[in-house]
Structure 1
Amino acid sequence: MWALMHFIDNKNSLLETMKWNLIFLAWVIGICTLGLPQAHYVSRWSVLCSFILLGIALLIGYAKQYFLQLKNSQILIHILIALAAFFVAISFADHQLQQRLSLRQTQVHQAEVVVYVDRMSVLNKDNKQQILQVWDASHQQMVHWFARIPAKQPELQLGQYYRVTGQVRPAHGYAIKGGFDQEKWFLQQNLMASFQVKQFELLNKSQALTQSSTSFVQRHRGFLQASRLWIEQKRLNCRNWLMQSPLRHRGLLLALLTGDESLLDDITQQQFQNLGIQHLLAISGPHVLVFAMLLCLVLHHLIARFCPELYLRMPKQLLLSLPFLIGIWVYCGFVGFEIPALRTLLMSSLIVLAMWCQRRLSVFTTLLASAALMLLFDPFSMLSVGFWLSYGACFILLRVYQTVQQQPQQVLLGHFQQCRYYLRLLFESQGKIFIALLPLVMLFFQQLSWLAPLANIIAIPLIGVVIVPLNILATCVWLLSPSLALPLYHVADAAISILLVSLGTLQSAIPVEVQQLHFTSLQIAVLTLVIVMLFLPKGTVPKVWLVLGCLPVVLPVHETQPFEFNVLDVGQGQAVHIRDQNKQILIDTGGTRDEQKFSLADRVLLPYFSSRGISSLDQVILSHLDQDHSGAFPRLNEKMPVKQLFGSQRPQGNLPSFDYCHAGQRWVSKNIEMQVLSPQEDDLANAEYQQNELSCVIYLSYKHQQAKTHFLIMGDAGTQTEQFLLQKYPDLAVDVLVLGHHGSRFSSSPEFLQRLKPKIAIASAGLHNRYGHPSREVQQRLQQAQIPLLNTAEQGSLYFTVTDEGSLNYAAARNARLWLHP
């Protein structure tokens, strides 16, 4: 009987755990639909769907209790409740998104606003970056703006009000697959605009009150605001003190202490990135736990010394659990409530709550519950890479720990055997973590350092066991007496020197460069499935399945469409990617004013090609050598193999096979025919002096079952070249026209547009560019000719495909997420 009751209790406990796991998982998945247009439509009916599902669950429960015996009814009820949670999460996430989107600035304009400073700045070479609380008079609400303050301007003081004038710009990045999504980052950080500060004036509270509102000023009063401001002030004081200190590695000490990389030099950052250990610069759970454990250790010794009878009234674990949580909360505030620190706080709170309630929580349930809670408090956390890396790494670490615990215990007699055992354990765990995190690294970073496991073996013990505890202890002493803290900082500084020398020796001994990864989302998903199967208990999955699962990862990428014509969003510039089966062609590369400062190749083009699984280019054509058409090529050529290069001028540097492009050249592949219409070969000698008019004009024809679809790419050619084309090619058929010179008024003449009559015209331009492209005149000409205009500044990257019947279809990158909509 007792055995039967024990079985029933275990079964009920298992069902209860499964129910909560399903609910938490459904909530997390529902929140992850944030920003999807489909989820926005579903959200209108999601609350109704939730009530219907809950009603069905109640009916099944009622029927089961009184007159029906339904098999597995309890599991069915749990699934229905989880589905209801999923639909509620969709509605909640969409509601939060719409609220935040409604507060965004959408136009560039000059503004004078009242701001409150509650966060310290981030120091850069050119300017100071600071998040400011702004009274938005248009919405009558407090919002956050991302301010850039000239380096020569004085620091904005914490806890002060200012009247600030400057230029407000909406968040607008490159809408391209694989590239950094600036709008998403602004949204996740709750930033409604970018603000270029020109001048500011200090205000007292009464002045701020008269120039803003009572609610704006009153929200900065109270204990929580005062404590947060006190912590922020201590962070700033600590940074300023470290800046003035004689410590050699002050930047790394500050980064490991608070996550602030303001003092970190470029060489150290690059070294950590090349070794694949840049994650160690971020504040993680162990940092927070070290401080909380140090606090509890001090309290334990004080209680044991002065009040030992407290341990007779209450178990030590329960007595120290609340100070433990307070320590975690304080350190979370000290590091700016970063996501990994918040995860540690939530997980620790759940564990302490379960301990006080005398309930057992599985590791998986604790992890899921903390993720669900974090997304309940801030659904925009799921937009952060840190959220996925933090929870992914935590789950993997716990899984590795469980596998170690499941291994048969070994009797270790001597110190040598113990050392050998723990070293083997360290190597095995790092290898498993490296493999398990590989899909996340491929998805978010698209590059891999093969030295990462070895570098982690060196860095993690030194940083986690020596440097971070010393750093935290020194800071605690610094709060009392900076002079007494300096020797401790010197010891931590010496440990960092040992770390950097060890890492440098590793790089010298094994000179392996960071490898760029080229995998599609489908390949990464398949690899994830293979890794999950690999970590299952032995014998669960046949080894043949693992081999078959790896085939999609190593085999060439299979594309559903034989042909693509993609006008990429590269800001004020031009880059057109053409794919014919497995042949990859790039016409122009775009480029920024200062490629050393912001590399378009590294930030936009290479991530795009990596996400498409493209590792090399068969052909690159540079229409001319203007910076906005060719500036990114040197870096692209350095990082990516290019078989053939064509251009109206010869670029400098180490080039692949090069030839000048001129009228009469023609290339034919499986589905496309591509030819150069201009310039004439005799005119190439003047290309340096007439770069725009002597741009390479490319005419592309795609052959399908019905006929051909034609694309014309004009480069920066103007009306002179247009007249030449009309005279030499009077029967030129064009379906898609990439406007000359980004839609300048000196190109796209009325006669040219009327004669060609394309189905679609495209302007490749940057938002609010200083040239006004595409010009009003060109827009009027297109409107009069009834030719639709697409602008990469408004639609983002444009991906064209052609069906077998000849139907021309396109997808705009800014339609993929609600926050990207113009």
Structure 2
Amino acid sequence: MNVNRFFIGAISGCLLSLFLPIVPALLWLIFLFSLFLLCLHYRLLALAGCCCALSLWLWQVQQHQWQSKQLLHLSEPWLQGQVVGIRQQDQDFSRFLWQIDEGPYRGYLVRLRWQEAPELLGQGQRWWLKLRCKAVRAPANPGSVYAEANAYVLGILANCLVKEALLLDPVWDHRQQLYQRLKAKIGDFSAFALITALTLGERPFSDELWLGLQATALGHLISISGFHIGLLFGWVYGLMVILSKSHALLLLCRQLAPFVALSAAWYYSLLAGFAIPTLRALVALALAVYLMQQHRRLSYSQSWLLVCGLLLLLNPLWVMSISFWLTVYAVALIFLFVWRYPLLDHNFKGRFLLAVKFQVLMTLLMSAPTLLFFHGIAPLALVSNLIFVPWCSLLVIPYLLIALLLELVLPAEMLWHWQLAELILAPLYHWLLYGAAMDYWWLLPAQTMVSALLIALLLAAAFFLPVPASKRCLALLLLPFTYLLWPKAPQWQLHLMDVGQGTALLLQKGDRGLLYDVGPVYGSFNATEAYVLPYLHYQGIRQLDYLVLSHADSDHTGAFAEVLKAYPQVKLIADFDTGFLQQPCHALPAAYLNAQLRTFRSTAARQDSNDSSCVLAVAVDGWTILLTGDISTKVEAELLTRVPELKTDLLLLGHHGSKGSSHLRFLAQVQPLVALNSAAANNAYGHPSKEVQARLSLLQIPLFNTAELGAIRLTITEQQLAIWPYRQQTLPFWLQKQ
């Protein structure tokens, strides 16, 4: 019980770190450590655990920030290190993780881009590299990875570009060799992506497969995690126990079983590149093996507290990992289920019914975090898990690992074991394609952390409390919370997406929308596929009515053809030749749903210039919105001449806040209540310019800029404009100050 209190305190301390407004100074470490020792002396174990966790957290955050700052201050340093990930290749760059193995940065990672990298670049090689580094910063949109938090979790100091290189050790490691062998041998198999995902942790999935994973809720199954590591441990341990019973000479197998199983789990983790979920599983299994050897039995609650607390003490920064909390939540549900519904009927029917009940309850109870993090649920989740969790657990994963071992001993030209693997994976592969084609995803009202936690607690209590009367009371308590999930009447929303140095804006009502620009494209990278399409899907846009391309610049047109492919019925609006069926700017209707639209385009501007931008004014529920593209002050003056009564409540600054736009006279005339701007953090153009910021300040117009705030959502009603900047809503709070 004393140890339980300590780990409860440690978990509480890590959670508390998420809500700190700033990172305390390093001197606080002395205070926290002294308080930790004092609490230990007086047996205040909960407070001691809290102080211990906060001390470790503060030390790691301060170390990460200090090392990152020092690295960024260096001008193109030469550093030694090792490639620790299989590279991802696009048209322009090779991208991979690289671990520094010298000096004060030893053990930290950097994310590298390398133009014209050697063909034989691979995991395990050691290089001496000259790097140009910049801080980790990426566009922040709901439903996407929070890059800055992820950098702390993984230990990534910076994003760097390779300038020069010297190869120190050309040898690939075991994982890279296996991947290259499989790619050359079965790279043309339809199930190749699934095979590499389940054997090596590499997921070269097509967009169709990603959609299928979301629609079927099987993402947890096609990513090597604690489930897969634990499954292999259980299989190997069980086989060793069976062997020990088959002959007296094999009794030693029983004693060796946990160690052999742990070794197999370690090898599977190695194949997965020691991804963080596999490391957490290894720690938990090593702890379980130790307790087995000590003949110690813990209750389910003690086991959960011990594993969760120990993992957070080993790395307090894992508290920022969504996958960590999904894992410990799932483990807690499994413990609750085993406690509440023990196996009493040992025949096949009893086991089958219990397995079905387990899948049903897990699917329902995992819906709460799914709502919180992914803004919806997959109606195919229950069917998918009932069929494919046992299919993969009992057949697919064991066979794929056997096939991988066969690959190491069979002649290179033999394919039969992989052809059989593709046959076994065929049902799963076609199910994913079916889910993608049908687009099964129910968008539900977004939940706060508090509402999602309440839903999870009430569902857990309703299913796991043993007293029927208590269940009836809880059922009554659940009724008010159905309001949280009940679809609300659609409201107008304006979304200024964070796409870096470009523009993408969505006007949405329910599942319909109008898209104004689609973000930038730079070389092989395009924000349309990376940010815009995932955002549309996350917001539940099923019918995109209009795609307006303001002008021909690539930071506005992006990969617009991908939007046309995703929404074949959309009407393309553009005043320059796109090569697709299109209509001019003035062809936009005067009314869209219950909004009024008005367009303007300069008659004097060249067709391919910024001043040729399609300016769009939207009036909805008594509010007005003005989208100005990249027009200059010259066209702003022309606009005021042609529409002297022009006023607006929301203004999207012209040309990303360039000093050549948003003239003082124009701002004073249109009198916006709020100015919005779309620009990249630390962009080379200095957008928004100091001049524009000074004009806005003079007129007391607040500025909301995606570079600092991430994606900006505005909910529009007749009574108010509610502004929701994404970066100001996410945990941890202290990371907002970076």
DSSP-derived class of the 1:102 partner? helix
Counterparts of 1:379-778 in structure 2, within 5 Å, are 379-405=316-342, 408-409=344-345, 412=347, 418=348, 420-446=349-375, 448-476=377-405, 478-479=407-408, 481-483=409-411, 490-491=416-417, 493-501=419-427, 504=430, 512-522=438-448, 524-536=452-464, 537=466, 539=468, 540-542=470-472, 543-556=475-488, 567-575=496-504, 588-593=516-521, 598=526, 600=528, 603-604=531-532, 607=535, 610=538, 622=548, 624-626=550-552, 628-629=555-556, 660=587, 676=598, 678-679=600-601, 692-698=611-617, 713-727=627-641, 737-749=651-663, 751-752=665-666, 762-767=676-681, 769=683, 773-775=687-689, 778=692
Does the CA contact (< 8 Å) of 1:591 and 1:631 recur in 2?
Answer: yes
What's 2:727 paired with?
A: 813
What's 1:353 paired with?
A: 290
Cα 1:797–1:87 shift into 2, 3 Å = farther
What's 2:141 paired with?
A: 176
Does the CA contact (< 8 Å) of 1:567 and 1:576 recur in 2?
Answer: yes
Cα 1:651–1:94 shift into 2, 3 Å = farther
Cα 1:47–1:27 shift into 2, 3 Å = farther
Counterparts of 1:200-239 in structure 2, within 5 Å, are 200-203=165-168, 233-239=173-179
CA offsets 1:141-174 (integer angstroms, 9 cap, x no match): 6632112334662333665543334543432222
Give distance in 1, aligned partners of 2:625 and 2:428: 56
Give distance in 2, aligned partners of 1:647 and 1:521: 37
Cα 1:692–1:364 shift into 2, 3 Å = farther
What's 1:129 paired with?
A: 95
CA offsets 1:68-89 (integer angstroms, 9 cap, x no match): xxxxxxxxxxxx6435533543
Does the CA contact (< 8 Å) of 1:43 and 1:91 recur in 2?
Answer: no
How far off its partner does 1:354 sit?
2.7
The one-letter code sitting in structure 2 at the alignment partner of 1:239 is Y
DSSP-derived class of the 1:115 partner? strand
CA offsets 1:738-786 (integer angstroms, 9 cap, x no match): 3211123432345545767878754321235565544566567778989
Could you tell me which runs of 5 or more consecutive residues in structure 2 were left unpaired when the two chains were aligned: none
Paired residues in the alignment total 725
Does the CA contact (< 8 Å) of 1:173 and 1:183 recur in 2?
Answer: yes
Does the CA contact (< 8 Å) of 2:526 and 2:558 recur in 1?
Answer: no
Give distance in 1, aligned partners of 2:436 and 2:688: 51
Give distance in 1, aligned partners of 2:64 and 2:285: 30
What's 2:50 paired with?
A: 86
- Matched-pair identity in %: 22
Does the CA contact (< 8 Å) of 2:232 and 2:398 recur in 1?
Answer: yes
Give distance in 1, aligned partners of 2:541 and 2:431: 31
The one-letter code sitting in structure 1 at the alignment partner of 2:57 is A
| 1:278 aligned onto 2:219 | yes
Does the CA contact (< 8 Å) of 1:796 and 1:812 recur in 2?
Answer: yes
The one-letter code sitting in structure 1 at the alignment partner of 2:488 is P
Does the CA contact (< 8 Å) of 1:588 and 1:622 recur in 2?
Answer: yes
Of the three residues 252, 260, 263, the one matched with 2:194 is 252
**More off after superposition, 49-58 vs 762-771:** 49-58
CA offsets 1:181-226 (integer angstroms, 9 cap, x no match): 222223322112223335422248xxxxxxxxxxxxxxxxxxxxxx
Cα 1:606–1:554 shift into 2, 3 Å = farther
The one-letter code sitting in structure 1 at the alignment partner of 2:483 is L
- Structure number, greater radius of gyration: 1
Give distance in 1, aligned partners of 2:228 and 2:549: 52
| 1:147 aligned onto 2:112 | yes
Give distance in 2, aligned partners of 1:442 and 1:641: 28
Does the CA contact (< 8 Å) of 2:29 and 2:59 recur in 1?
Answer: no
How far off its partner does 1:45 sit?
7.1
The one-letter code sitting in structure 1 at the alignment partner of 2:471 is V
Give distance in 1, aligned partners of 2:504 and 2:576: 17
DSSP-derived class of the 2:136 partner? coil
How far off its partner does 1:789 sit?
5.9
The one-letter code sitting in structure 1 at the alignment partner of 2:100 is V
Could you tell me which runs of 5 or more consecutive residues in structure 1 were left unpaired when the two chains were aligned: 1-15, 62-79, 205-228, 413-417, 704-708
How far off its partner does 1:361 sit?
0.7
The one-letter code sitting in structure 2 at the alignment partner of 1:155 is L
| 1:162 aligned onto 2:98 | no
Give distance in 2, aligned partners of 1:123 and 1:422: 44
How far off its partner does 1:532 sit?
1.7
**More off after superposition, 758-767 vs 125-134:** 758-767
Give distance in 2, aligned partners of 1:511 and 1:735: 41
Does the CA contact (< 8 Å) of 1:606 and 1:636 recur in 2?
Answer: no
DSSP-derived class of the 1:154 partner? coil
| 1:378 aligned onto 2:319 | no
Does the CA contact (< 8 Å) of 1:573 and 1:765 recur in 2?
Answer: yes
DSSP-derived class of the 1:747 partner? coil
Cα 1:447–1:88 shift into 2, 3 Å = same
Give distance in 1, aligned partners of 2:537 and 2:85: 37
What's 2:203 paired with?
A: 261
How far off its partner does 1:352 sit?
2.8
Of structures 1 and 2, the one scoring higher in RCO (CA 8 A, sep 6+) is 2
What's 2:706 paired with?
A: 792
CA offsets 1:556-608 (integer angstroms, 9 cap, x no match): 2899xxx987644232223456799x999867254232899756477357548
How far off its partner does 1:494 sit?
0.9
How far off its partner does 1:369 sit?
1.5
Give distance in 1, aligned partners of 2:581 and 2:273: 46
| 1:31 aligned onto 2:14 | yes
The one-letter code sitting in structure 2 at the alignment partner of 1:257 is T
Give distance in 2, aligned partners of 1:506 and 1:345: 30
Give distance in 1, aligned partners of 2:562 and 2:281: 40
Give distance in 1, aligned partners of 2:12 and 2:460: 19
How far off its partner does 1:340 sit?
3.5
How far off its partner does 1:58 sit?
7.9
Does the CA contact (< 8 Å) of 1:51 and 1:84 recur in 2?
Answer: no
DSSP-derived class of the 2:550 partner? coil
Does the CA contact (< 8 Å) of 2:226 and 2:281 recur in 1?
Answer: yes
Give distance in 2, aligned partners of 1:300 and 1:317: 5
Give distance in 2, aligned partners of 1:758 and 1:379: 45
How far off its partner does 1:427 sit?
3.3
CA RMSD of aligned residues (A): 5.3
CA offsets 1:221-266 (integer angstroms, 9 cap, x no match): xxxxxxxx99x8222222233234368455433322221235x666
Does the CA contact (< 8 Å) of 2:21 and 2:734 recur in 1?
Answer: no
DSSP-derived class of the 1:465 partner? helix
Does the CA contact (< 8 Å) of 2:10 and 2:50 recur in 1?
Answer: yes
Give distance in 2, aligned partners of 1:308 and 1:343: 35
Give distance in 1, aligned partners of 2:592 and 2:436: 43
Cα 1:469–1:787 shift into 2, 3 Å = closer
Cα 1:286–1:675 shift into 2, 3 Å = closer
Give distance in 2, aligned partners of 1:33 and 1:335: 32
Does the CA contact (< 8 Å) of 1:782 and 1:788 recur in 2?
Answer: yes
DSSP-derived class of the 1:746 partner? coil
TM-score where L is the length of structure 2 = 0.78
Cα 1:441–1:806 shift into 2, 3 Å = closer
DSSP-derived class of the 1:133 partner? strand
Does the CA contact (< 8 Å) of 1:760 and 1:790 recur in 2?
Answer: yes
What's 1:225 paired with?
A: none
